[in-house]
Structure 1
Amino acid sequence: MNISDDHQDKDCDATHQEIYKFFAGVMILIFILALPLNGSVLHLFIFKLKFWKSNTNNVFLFNLVLADMLLLFCLPIKSYNFIMGERRSGNDVTCKAMLFMFLLNRGASIAFLAVTSIDRYFNVVHPGRKNLLRALKRSPQISVLIWLLLLPLTIPPMMKTFQCCKSLKNHDAAVDVVDSLTEVVFFTQILIPFSILVYCTARIVNRLRRKTVGDRTKLKRAVILVTTVMVVFSLCFLPCTIARMILLIVRVQDMSQQIQDQADVVFDGLLVLSYMDCLLDPLVYCFSSTKFKALYLSTYFPFLVQTAVRRADGSMRKSAQPLSCKRDSVVLDS
């Protein structure tokens, strides 16, 4: 092993091992909770909803849950690395495979969240206007195109040890170009979709405020959906983006090793937080369609539906009882 490889390994060591073991525990918990949740949603999309025949945006939501499922399989390996005191796998093949899965599926999750909001934006703000997204959303073309466009974006980070940030510390022009391209991919993959989400949310909310007559229920559901998407996005992806920016500043200015280690821990911790997306995305499915929520409950939790029906029947009977008594009294009085 040469000096540069030894330095690279040191950069990838977990300097605060107890904290990284806590991060590993969080990822294991996310995996345990999110795997059956996303698996049940995937089963529902395929066998109950038959998303490929649907006239709604179920095609986008299916790809979203698929991306979340694939990303979940990275968590056990990542947890093992953290427990062993490593920020990434020491095996180069495993490291690159993990990085590819992370970048591709996280990018797909972000993309399909954004596309879902754009689709709802066109349905609400421009309901009569024809657009390419509406024409293709019932077919797999646009979904396949999104996956294909994401593939080239995984190449620059895989050329370097992206997970052990050393970007922009070299004086080699060729290396600096790769580093810069890597960071551009990372930030644009988050900031551009977030800007789209903010725009769509603002326009839909403005549309709801200006609509004084007619059915406002559809508009309210759209506002709830895009707001939920933006909250999920802000909670899961923006913190690690800010932490990455701070980490780059610390590295470029060559601050003390202690500060660099602390910045590493904060970035890795907030990156773990981004995996919460796999748990929060089902909220998007529920707010996208009341039918989906009802179908999910009736399929996997039928006892909850039966309890709700019994309570509704009981309340209806109670409300009807005084009326019947009143009628009887009128008859008797007459």
Structure 2
Amino acid sequence: MTGPNVSEVTDHCNVSNAATYEVLAWVVVVQFVLGLPLNLSVLYVFIFRFKFWKNRSVFLFNIVAADFLLVACLPSKAYSYTLGQRRNPNYSLCKAMHFMLFLNRGASIAFLVTLSLDRYFNVVHLGRRNFVKALKKSPQISVVIWLLLLPLAIPATLQTFECCNSLGRNGTYNQNITDIFRETVFFTQIILPFIVLLYCTVCIVHRLKKKTVGEKAKLRRAMYVVVSVVVIFSVCFLPSTVARVALLTVRIRGWEEMEEVVVQFYDALMVLSYTDCLLDPLVYCFCYSGFKDAYLDTFCPAFLYQRLRKDGTQTTTNTTTTSKGRSTSLPMIEKLQV
């Protein structure tokens, strides 16, 4: 390994239980094997069949792009675990991987929350000017969001994030400031969006209870979108956040024996957070039924697609029968949006 402060970085990066990290390495490999073709196929549909730039789904495409970049980082993580280390042994590559992981994580969260806010304004404040809808139509806004996320990913490259050697280990003043800033970014990136999502979900459900039967089918789709995002947060992001609190607590208190156990739980839950790239396609299906039709039409065998479409037609409500005559490759987004 090369780079500055080598001894500081490597002190606590060797794994304490090789068997645990062998299992985690295989889990990451499975995520990569499943996530790569899934996200490549979703990218293909968004670009060549769904034509996201015409269907006002630029934000969804950015979530797909973030997931794909996350999947591209997974082989490095699996390789590190097989070597018995908690991060890549190459200092420069380690920093690059952390930067990419944090950037893509932040982008996925930002665009998922923006999508939920759009559904919230369309349901709870229907009739008022929805600034989110105006923003999501512009590719330039997506570029701005990526640029704003760049500074938030930089703290992960200042010191090795997993090993976190200085915080609670009598580090220098500058090291402590760096660690505190990094941890603040990490927790804020998860906790604030989750509070926003919970608020949007409660408001949409409350609004749904007040609506008449004829309006509920459309609003229920909006509720599914927001609830699916909350589920992704609850499964992928919140557990690692709680584990991070436990890890920092035992380190600050100096409980070294307990730290060895907590570190393994934290790393396992961080690996669980990478499952986000496998769950996000559910959000796309809830957002636009046309995406699901285009995906099945592209990758399912003809006989299976016809059977699925026939079964879906039999259970379709009156609110969706107007979509029968459209081409699956070019869904009518305006009629499907909430």
Determine if the TM-score, normalized by the shorter chain, exceeds 0.5: yes
Q: Distance in 2 between matches of 1:90 and 1:271?
A: 19
Q: Which residue of 2 aligns with 1:155?
A: 154
Residue 96 of structure 2: aligned partner = 97
| Aligned residue in 2 for 1:326 | none
Superposed counterparts of 1:231-246, under 5 Å: 231-246=231-246
Q: How does 1:184-203 map to 2 (within 5 A)?
A: 184-203=184-203
Distance in 2 (CA, whole Å) between partners of 1:313 and 1:7 is: 62
Structure 2 Cα separation of the partners of residues 8 and 247 of structure 1: 17
The separation in 2 between residues aligned to 1:206 and 1:174, in whole angstroms, is: 48
Match of 1:162, SS state, is: coil
Residue type matched to 2:242 in 1?
I
Code of the residue aligned with 2:282 in structure 1: it is L
- 1:298 positional shift: 1.3
Displacement, 1:157? 2.3
Within 5 Å, give how 1:130-279 maps onto structure 2.
130-166=129-165, 167-212=167-212, 214-255=214-255, 257-279=256-278
**Counterpart contact for 2:168–2:253, Cα < 8 Å:** no
RMSD: 2.1
Which residues of structure 1 form unaligned runs of 5+? 316-334
What is aligned with 2:294?
A: 295
Distance 2:96 2:117 in 1: 31
Instruction: Note the C-alpha offset of 1:144.
Output: 1.1
> Does 2:26 align with 1:6?
no
Cα distance, 1:7 vs. partner?
4.9
- Percent identity between the two aligned chains: 51
CA distance change for structure 1 residues 176 and 145 in 2, over 3 Å: closer, same or farther? same
**Using the alignment, how far apart are the partners of 1:312 and 1:205 within structure 2?**
25
2:32 equivalent in structure 1: 31
Partner of residue 329, structure 2: none
- Aligned residue type for 2:106: G
Corresponding residue for 1:323?
none
Ranked by relative contact order (alpha carbons within 8 Å, sequence separation 6 or more), the top structure is 2
The aligned amino acid for 1:149 is L
Compare 153-162 and 265-274 and name the one that shifted more: 153-162
Q: Which residue does the alignment assign to 1:121?
A: 120
Whole-angstrom distance in 1 between the partners of 2:209 and 2:215: 13
Instruction: Give a deviation string over 1:279-334, Cα, whole Å, max 9, x none.
Output: 1111111111111111211111133222245668999xxxxxxxxxxxxxxxxxxx
Give, in whole Å, the separation in 2 of the partners of 1:128 and 1:313.
32
Give me the whole-angstrom Cα distance separating, in 2, the residues matched to 1:6 and 1:312: 60
Q: CA deviation at 1:185?
A: 0.3
In 1, Cα distance between equivalents of 2:145 and 2:290: 27
> Distance between the aligned counterparts of 1:123 and 1:303, measured in 2?
38
- State the secondary structure of the residue aligned to 1:104: helix
Q: Which runs of 5+ in 2 are unaligned?
A: 316-338
Give distance in 1, aligned partners of 2:292 and 2:314: 23
Retained in 2: the 8 A contact 1:53–1:138? Answer: no
- Match of 1:111, as an amino acid? A
Q: Which structure has the greater CA radius of gyration?
A: 1
Task: State the distance in 2 between where 1:240 and 1:312 align.
Answer: 38
Question: Which amino acid in the other structure matches residue 38 of structure 1?
Answer: N
1:63 corresponding residue in structure 2 = 62
* Number of equivalenced pairs: 312
Match of 2:82 in 1: 83
Q: Name the residue aligned to 2:330.
A: none
TM-score, normalising length from structure 2? Answer: 0.88
Shift of 1:172: 2.5
